[in-house]
């Protein structure tokens, strides 16, 4: 575990104490996944279970959860949450359902018709803050009556920042809840509530100290869940050691850097892992031909399949760059837009984009594709299999993020032998090692400054290195041999939990 203060180590492989841990989040795969948070909420609890802990998850029961595939059974009926703290009769009643599969993490779902079941999406409603306050109250009310009580709650991102807040205010005298330690995990500091925190007027500013307003009070929509989570949690974690340092300065701090500095002795950074079972080119049935470091020749068959899939010129020696990403400014799309045409004109390569989000970027790539039809392939909808084929067929994956709390795709890419080109920030800096010719080291190409020239130079370095087949194969082998499994992260989380419980040196 890397932290701002010196970290501690436990040398034993097995945890000293079996912990009960409850993760609360807005999304948890495989039930519902919008982005990286959902993925982490699936893999991390499972990795903790593998270490012997009892880790469970708690999330809303959205209409889109497939109850045929995931049959749910009642766990607790009639969870009562106050909608107005000043009136004990103003209650909202929800139920908790449970999903359990042999050997897997137990999942609890908060059922509420109005706030979750009638909504098709996870995010994007005008009353989102109310929905998340309900989730936060719901989980605490559930723990009060549940037979199973956690030692630790892990709340993630602004949506569940109200859990630490309520736990240390409204619920602070509860005999059960007051004993539970709470960790707030930051996956992305940029999203703090239903407003743009860069432009909050003084009147609307949420300093985090006032009680949470009633559900029907419009002021509830002005709450800053991120600030509150950071203020009230026992410990704060973020998803890479570098991001934990970066958010202490104003470039990355999203106006919370002063608060984070105040809390720096409680702030940690643990790098996410990836699911090395489902991301494994040796056994992956989503790719055309399986391969490993021992039979890398097979990989080029995936490249041909990829070119066919996108109607590109078929050529196993062509350099292919792939992008698998949410298309937004965080992910560095303005840099990609700035250099794409120049790259196309000057370098012989093919480009594949699998992106969701912004119509602006979609339009840009569609226009570019018209210009270079047999060299550019685009897909703008979510797809389960396509990312794997791109990882297995492309030579490089571009991740030029402006900031990146962790980032998962660069690790998935390395596992498949697609060499990432990344900006040196957050988890990208912590997971990719820069290639320097002649040193037999490095797993990717890193650039520092967020500008088009730096990115362009990194791209040229990669495309030139690709021409040296021997060198490129060595690079692929090094990248594919890196261990990004969750086990290591889960051990570091165990340390963090023990620290929160006062069982490891403070």
Angle in degrees, 0-180, between the axes of helices 469-480 and 452-466, rounded to the nearest 10: 110
Of 30 and 35, the one with the shorter C-beta distance to ligand GLC is 35
- Side by side, the strands of the sheet bearing 349-357 are 376-379, 349-357, 319-327, 396-399, 419-423, 445-447
- Smallest gap from residue 185 Cβ to ligand GLC (A): 8
- Smallest gap from residue 157 Cβ to ligand GLC (A): 8
Distance CA 244, CA 260 (A): 9
Of 322 and 427, the one with the shorter C-beta distance to ligand GLC is 427
- Smallest gap from residue 397 Cβ to ligand GLC (A): 14
- Smallest gap from residue 1 Cβ to ligand GLC (A): 16
Tokens found for residue 362 = 């979609």
Of 325 and 494, the one with the shorter C-beta distance to ligand GLC is 325
- Smallest gap from residue 35 Cβ to ligand GLC (A): 5
- Smallest gap from residue 102 Cβ to ligand GLC (A): 27
Spatial CA neighbour of 56 closest among 95, 24, 27, 89: 24
Whole-angstrom Cα Rg for the chain: 23
Tokens found for residue 13 = 């492989």
Of 187 and 228, the one with the shorter C-beta distance to ligand GLC is 187
Spatial CA neighbour of 155 closest among 143, 401, 147: 143
- Smallest gap from residue 404 Cβ to ligand GLC (A): 5
- Smallest gap from residue 156 Cβ to ligand GLC (A): 8
Q: Using alpha carbons only, give the angle 473, 276, 245 rounded to the nearest 5 degrees.
A: 90
Tokens found for residue 35 = 């982005």
Of 222 and 331, the one with the shorter C-beta distance to ligand GLC is 331
Spatial CA neighbour of 61 closest among 23, 86, 31: 31
Of 410 and 495, the one with the shorter C-beta distance to ligand GLC is 410
The verdict on whether omega for the bond into residue 30 sits within 30 degrees of 0, i.e. cis, is yes
Q: Is 260 helix (H, G, I), strand (E, B) or coil?
A: helix
Q: What ranges make up the beta strands (E) of 210-249?
A: 235-238
Of 248 and 343, the one with the shorter C-beta distance to ligand GLC is 248
Residues in the site for ligand GLC, rule: CB under 6 A? 35-37, 40, 187-188, 239, 272, 404-408, 427
Based on the number of CB atoms within 10 Å of its own CB, is 8 exposed (0-12), middle (13-18) or buried (19 or more)?
middle
Of 238 and 443, the one with the shorter C-beta distance to ligand GLC is 238
- Smallest gap from residue 143 Cβ to ligand GLC (A): 25
Of 404 and 491, the one with the shorter C-beta distance to ligand GLC is 404
Of 44 and 475, the one with the shorter C-beta distance to ligand GLC is 44
CB 122 within 8 A of CB 26: yes
Of 376 and 421, the one with the shorter C-beta distance to ligand GLC is 421
CB 434 within 8 A of CB 444: yes
DSSP H or E stretch at residue 489: helix 486-500
Distance CA 403, CA 408 (A): 13
Of 272 and 494, the one with the shorter C-beta distance to ligand GLC is 272
CB 25 within 8 A of CB 59: yes
Give the dihedral sign, CA 496/502/505/506.
positive
Give 97's strand partners. 74, 109
- Smallest gap from residue 42 Cβ to ligand GLC (A): 11
- Smallest gap from residue 31 Cβ to ligand GLC (A): 17
Residue nearest to ligand GLC (CB): 36
Distance CA 348, CA 320 (A): 9
Give the dihedral sign, CA 415/315/373/458.
positive
CB 98 within 8 A of CB 106: yes
- Smallest gap from residue 409 Cβ to ligand GLC (A): 9
Neighbours of 334 (CB within 10 A): 14
Of 272 and 443, the one with the shorter C-beta distance to ligand GLC is 272
- Smallest gap from residue 186 Cβ to ligand GLC (A): 9
Distance CA 424, CA 480 (A): 20
What is the DSSP pairing of strand 106-111 with strand 91-99? antiparallel
Spatial CA neighbour of 30 closest among 39, 17, 19, 21: 39
């Amino acid at each position: 575990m890397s932290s701002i203060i010196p970290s501690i180590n436990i040398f034993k492989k097995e945890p000293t104490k079996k912990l009960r841990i409850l993760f609360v989040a807005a999304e948890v795969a495989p039930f519902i996944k919008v982005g990286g948070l959902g993925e982490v909420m699936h893999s991390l609890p499972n990795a903790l279970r593998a270490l012997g802990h009892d880790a469970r998850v708690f999330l809303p029961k959205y209409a889109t959860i497939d109850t045929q595939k995931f049959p749910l059974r009642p766990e607790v009926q009639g969870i009562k949450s106050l909608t107005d703290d000043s009136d004990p009769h103003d209650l909202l009643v929800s139920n908790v359902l449970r999903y359990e599969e042999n050997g897997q993490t137990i999942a609890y779902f908060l059922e509420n018709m109005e706030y979750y079941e009638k909504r098709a999406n996870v995010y994007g409603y005008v009353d989102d803050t109310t929905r998340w306050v309900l989730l936060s109250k719901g989980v605490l009310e559930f723990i009060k009556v549940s037979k199973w009580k956690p030692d630790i709650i892990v709340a993630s991102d602004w949506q569940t920042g109200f859990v630490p807040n309520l736990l240390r205010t409204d619920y602070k005298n509860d005999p059960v809840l007051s004993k539970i330690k709470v960790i707030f995990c930051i996956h992305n500091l940029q999203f703090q509530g239903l407003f743009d925190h860069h432009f909050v007027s003084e009147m609307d500013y949420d300093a985090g100290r006032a009680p949470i307003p009633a559900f029907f009070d419009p002021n509830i929509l002005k709450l800053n869940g991120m600030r509150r989570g950071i203020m009230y949690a026992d410990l704060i974690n973020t998803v890479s050691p570098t991001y934990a340092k970066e958010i202490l300065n104003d470039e990355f701090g999203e106006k919370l850097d002063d608060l984070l500095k105040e809390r720096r002795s409680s702030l940690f950074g643990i790098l996410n892992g990836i699911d090395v079972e489902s991301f494994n080119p040796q056994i992956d049935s989503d790719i055309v031909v399986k391969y490993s470091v021992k039979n890398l020749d097979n990989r080029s068959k995936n490249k041909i399949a990829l070119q066919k899939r996108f109607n590109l010129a078929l050529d196993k020696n062509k350099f292919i760059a792939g992008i698998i990403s949410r298309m937004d400014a965080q992910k560095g799309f303005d840099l990609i837009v700035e250099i794409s045409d120049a790259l196309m004109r000057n370098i012989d390569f093919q480009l594949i984009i699998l992106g969701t989000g912004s119509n602006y970027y979609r339009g840009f790539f569609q226009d570019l594709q018209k210009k270079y039809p047999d060299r550019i392939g685009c897909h703008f909808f979510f797809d389960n299999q396509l990312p794997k084929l791109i990882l297995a067929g492309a030579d490089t994956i571009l991740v030029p993020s402006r900031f990146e709390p962790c980032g998962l795709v660069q690790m998935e890419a390395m596992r498949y032998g697609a060499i990432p080109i990344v900006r040196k920030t957050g988890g990208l800096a912590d997971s990719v090692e820069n290639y320097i010719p002649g040193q037999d080291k490095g797993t990717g190409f890193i650039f520092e400054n967020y500008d088009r020239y730096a990115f362009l130079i990194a791209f040229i370095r990669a495309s030139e290195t690709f021409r040296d087949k021997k060198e490129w194969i060595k690079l692929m082998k090094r990248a594919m041999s890196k261990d990004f499994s969750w086990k290591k992260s889960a051990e570091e989380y165990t340390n963090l939990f023990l620290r929160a419980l006062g069982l490891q040196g403070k």
